[in-house]
């Protein structure tokens, strides 16, 4: 019987052929926690009798969710993480080094065919790399760091096939927003997603990360982009599904006519063509996050804002996904273009996306954000509204002061 | 410490897709002080919740309960506030695992019609929920054996302390 990508990767790790529905205990190739989940992970690790992590080279801690520390309480939690990393001989990614998912990919903690467990819900991002990556909570992660294993139910797989090429000016973010709207926030719960078809084949690694990242917005356990067309700096053996693999459901979309998409408050699946919301006044524009804080995202914003100033009633925050992205954006001039246009640069990391600091919106304010979530209160104020769009849409909207189709600035 | 297997208590009933930002906003998650979590649990959904919840009460919801972030602070906040079991039509997967891992029982009942304020009698061992107010009995979806084993130990910390590793 044929296997999906997830079934193949898990089979390779447990030493026998397994299929959807089977319970397995699998070895893992990597594990990480952030400063939201790390302190509880460390506490649980010690309580469960953990002494040494299973492999310090395969485990990492990242300070990205509230970095640098906004208060003494969080400063002490960060210290706890630094102390634990030192004691274990594992790497701790410091404030400003970047968002957990970005630095795990940049530093090759995860590679094609791997099983990676992260204490962050956007861990499926590594599906861009043809890996089986799964988000868990702190105690699960502590157990993985201690044993090098995880228990899993082999997931059923939903195939999402997108034929056609995206139009000029329409990006991976527009495509994944469209798909989240169709599949809904609970449409893939407990299941894996395989993204396949022409629309993904020409995509950069960064765009594939944007796609896989929002698998979690459909409730998926993991979301893997078919490796056809994937280019990496190193040689790798791709895992591809068998032709007779069994899919629980298949979606087919021709996306060649897709327009820019916007997700309206207060659920990521409340997605419509941008035309429905064009003209909605905004106060605040944000580009960053594990979804859209990479160089191509900053570059497209710079292309729109070059030589212009953002609207006087709008403030704009930029949080590069990593230090490496920031350096590249300085090197190619993108960063000065954005700052000259009026944007404010903050530390590489999660920034205001998790509502802890660095740009909490005021009551009644409207945000256009390149992030992946717009739940009520997400950015720290339950009395604000968050619209999600592509970095291009965020930049065009910052320029005009209201939600704007970026097409006219890109064609 | 094993969890209590028979619970008779009042139901607090909420709707579908209650995300972890609503269970415990991100701004409160960065702490090891569980009472802080309990003080803010569900505050953006129901500002009164913290005042009306009593020790042992039951939380009931619709579909996709606990969607969004992986924060274990969400089930911890509910447990610390006194919630003894969460019943939902279905759960987001990370929340589901987290709840079991910290020893908060969760029951999936896809067709429940439990109303606000209902008195429930929950038999955790057999997954039977009796709605004493509406006089209806429900059977929850059976948990995988490994989750039952973890829950029986009161959570994953105790399970691993005892067993040292996973076993199926």
Report the b/e string of A128-164 with b at 16+ CB within 10 A: bbbbbbbbbbbbbbbbbbbbbbbbbbbbbbbbbbbee
Residue B1 pLDDT > 80: no
Contact by Cβ (8 Å): A284, A359:
yes
The rounded distance, in Å, linking the Cα atoms of A214 and A176 is 7
| Structure tokens given for B75 | 């089930």
Ranges in chain A, pLDDT < 70: none
User: Under an 8 A CB cutoff, do A355 and B72 touch?
Assistant: no
Q: Could A375 and B21 be called an inter-chain contact, meaning their C-beta atoms sit closer than 8 Å?
A: yes
Residue B166 lies in a domain: no
Q: Can you give the pTM of this predicted structure?
A: 0.96
| Residue B52 is assigned to a structural domain of this protein | yes
Distance between CA atoms of residues A216 and A179, nearest Å: 12
Look up the ipTM and state it.
Answer: 0.94
What pLDDT is recorded for position B86?
98
Average pLDDT over residues B98-125: 96
State the CATH class of domain A1-258. alpha beta
What the block records as the tokens of B140 is 């929850």
| Nearest CA distance, B133 vs chain A (angstrom) | 30
Residues of chain A positioned with their CB less than 8 A from the CB of B155: 139
Cα distance between residue B150 and residue B155, in whole Å? 5
Taking residues B46-51, report their average pLDDT: 94
CATH number at residue B41: 3.20.19.10
Whether A183 and chain B come into contact, CB under 8 Å, resolves to: no
Residues of chain B with Cβ-Cβ distance to A218 below 8 Å are none
Name the helix (H) or strand (E) containing B157.
Answer: helix B156-163
Domain count, chain B: 1
Is the pLDDT assigned to residue B4 strictly greater than 90?
Answer: no
Which pLDDT band, with edges at 50, 70 and 90, does B119 fall under? Answer: very high
**Cβ of B64 and A219 within 8 Å?**
yes
Are B136 and B113 a contacting pair, CB within 8 Å? Answer: yes
Phi and psi at B165, nearest 5°, equal -160, 175
| CATH code assigned to A261-410 | 3.30.499.10
CA–CA gap between residue A372 and residue A288 (Å, rounded): 10
- Domain A1-258 and domain A261-410, same fold? Reply is yes
Strand partners, B106: B86
Instruction: Inform me whether the C-beta atom of residue A100 falls under 8 Å from chain B C-beta atoms.
Output: no
Q: Is the pLDDT of residue B3 over 70?
A: no
Domain extent for B126: 6-142
Q: How far apart are CA A384 and CA A374, in angstroms?
A: 10
Give the DSSP per-residue string, A337-399.
HHHHTTEEE--SSSGGGGSSSS-PPPTT-EEEESSS---TTTTS-TTSEEEE--HHHHHHHHH
| Cα A354 to Cα B32: distance, rounded to the nearest angstrom | 18
In chain A, where are the structural domains located? 1-258, 261-410
- Residue B1 forms contact with A (CB below 8 Å): no
Average pLDDT, chain B: 94
Which one, of B51, B44, B47, lies nearest residue B68 by Cα?
A: B44
Of all residues in chain B, the one with the smallest CA distance to A80 is B32
Rounded-to-integer distance, Cα A295 and Cα A96, Å: 16
Q: How many CA atoms lie within 13 A of A87 on its CB side?
A: 12
Query: Is the Cβ of B103 closer than 8 Å to some Cβ of chain A?
Result: no
Tokens coding A176: 């994944």
Place of tokens 């910290």: B102
- Count CB atoms within 10 A of the CB of residue A246: 15
User: B43-48 — which CB contacts under 8 Å span 24+ positions?
Assistant: B44/A376, B44/A377, B44/A382, B45/B14, B45/B18, B46/B14
Q: Tell me how far apart the alpha carbons of residues B32 and A40 are, in angstroms, rounded to a whole number.
A: 7
Distances (CA, A) of B66 to A147, A186, B4, B73, B168: 27, 11, 23, 11, 26
Furthest C-alpha separation in chain A: 61
Is B161 a domain residue? no
CA distance A333 to A335: 6
For chain B, helix (H) and strand (E) counts, in that order, are 7, 7
d(CA A28, CA A259): 39
Cis, bond preceding A196 (omega within 30 deg of 0): no
User: Using CB atoms, which residue from A138, A153, A356 is nearest to B72?
Assistant: A138
Mean pLDDT of B69-78: 96
Q: In the sheet that A132-135 helps form, which strands lie side by side, from edge to edge? A: A91-93, A59-62, A30-34, A115-119, A132-135
Q: Which residues contact A81 (CB under 8 A, 6 or more apart)?
A: A35, A38, A39, A42, A61, A63, A92
Q: Is A164 left (phi over 0), alpha (psi -120 to 50) or beta?
A: left
Which residues does A334 contact at the CB level (< 8 Å), separation at least 6?
A295, A298, A299, A301, A302
B15 touches chain A (CB under 8 A): no
């Amino acid at each position: 019987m044929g296997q999906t990508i997830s079934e193949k990767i898990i089979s390779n790790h447990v030493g026998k052929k397994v299929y959807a529905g089977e319970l397995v205990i699998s070895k893992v190739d990597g594990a990480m926690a952030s400063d939201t989940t790390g302190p509880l992970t460390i506490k649980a690790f010690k309580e469960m009798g953990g002494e040494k992590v299973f492999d310090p080279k395969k485990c990492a801690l990242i300070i990205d969710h509230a970095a640098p520390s906004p208060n003494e309480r969080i400063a002490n939690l960060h210290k706890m993480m630094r102390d634990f990393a030192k004691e274990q001989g594992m790497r701790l990614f410091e404030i400003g080094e970047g968002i957990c998912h970005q630095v795990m990919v940049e530093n090759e903690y995860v590679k094609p065919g791997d099983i990676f467990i992260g204490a962050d819900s956007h861990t499926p991002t590594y599906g861009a790399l043809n890996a089986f990556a799964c988000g868990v909570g702190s105690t699960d992660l502590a157990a993985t760091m201690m044993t090098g294993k995880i228990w899993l139910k082999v997931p059923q797989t939903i195939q999402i096939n997108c034929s056609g090429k995206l139009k000029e000016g329409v990006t991976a973010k527009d495509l994944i927003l469209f798909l989240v709207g169709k599949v809904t926030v609970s449409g893939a719960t407990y299941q894996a997603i395989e993204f396949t078809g022409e629309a993904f084949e020409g995509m950069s690694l960064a765009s594939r990360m944007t796609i896989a990242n929002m698998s979690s917005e459909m409730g998926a356990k993991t979301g893997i982009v078919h490796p056809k067309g994937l280019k990496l700096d190193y040689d790798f053996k791709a895992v591809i599904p068998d032709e007779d693999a069994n899919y629980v459901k298949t979606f087919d979309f021709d996306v060649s006519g897709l327009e820019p998409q916007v997700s309206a408050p207060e659920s990521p699946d409340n997605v419509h063509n941008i035309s429905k919301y064009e003209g909605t006044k905004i106060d605040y524009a944000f580009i960053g996050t594990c979804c859209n804080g990479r160089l191509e995202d900053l570059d497209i914003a710079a292309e729109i804002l070059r030589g212009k100033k953002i609207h006087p009633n709008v403030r704009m925050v930029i949080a590069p996904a990593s230090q490496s992205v920031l350096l590249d954006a300085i090197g190619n001039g993108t960063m000065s273009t954005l700052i000259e246009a009026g944007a404010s640069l903050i530390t590489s990391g999660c920034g205001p996306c998790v509502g802890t600091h660095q740009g909490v919106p005021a009551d009644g304010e409207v945000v256009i954000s390149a992030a992946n979530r717009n739940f009520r209160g997400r950015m720290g104020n339950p009395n604000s509204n968050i619209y999600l769009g592509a970095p291009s849409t965020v930049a065009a909207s910052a320029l005009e002061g209201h939600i704007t189709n970026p097409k006219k600035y890109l064609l | 410490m094993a969890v209590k297997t028979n619970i008779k208590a009042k139901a607090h009933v909420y709707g579908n897709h209650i995300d972890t930002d609503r269970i415990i906003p991100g701004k409160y998650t960065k702490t090891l002080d569980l009472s802080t979590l309990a003080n803010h649990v569900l505050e953006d959904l129901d500002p009164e919740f913290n005042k009306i919840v009593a020790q042992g009460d039951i939380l009931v919801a619709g579909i996709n309960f606990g969607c969004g972030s992986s924060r274990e602070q969400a089930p911890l906040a509910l447990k610390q506030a006194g919630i003894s079991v969460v019943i939902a039509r279905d759960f987001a997967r990370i929340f589901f695992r987290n709840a079991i891992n910290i020893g908060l029982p969760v029951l999936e009942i896809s067709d429940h019609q439990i109303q606000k304020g209902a008195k429930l009698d929950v038999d955790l061992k057999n997954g039977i929920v009796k709605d004493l107010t509406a006089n209806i009995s429900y059977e929850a979806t059976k948990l995988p054996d490994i989750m039952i084993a973890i829950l029986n130990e009161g959570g994953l910390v105790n399970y691993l302390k005892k067993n040292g590793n996973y076993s199926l």
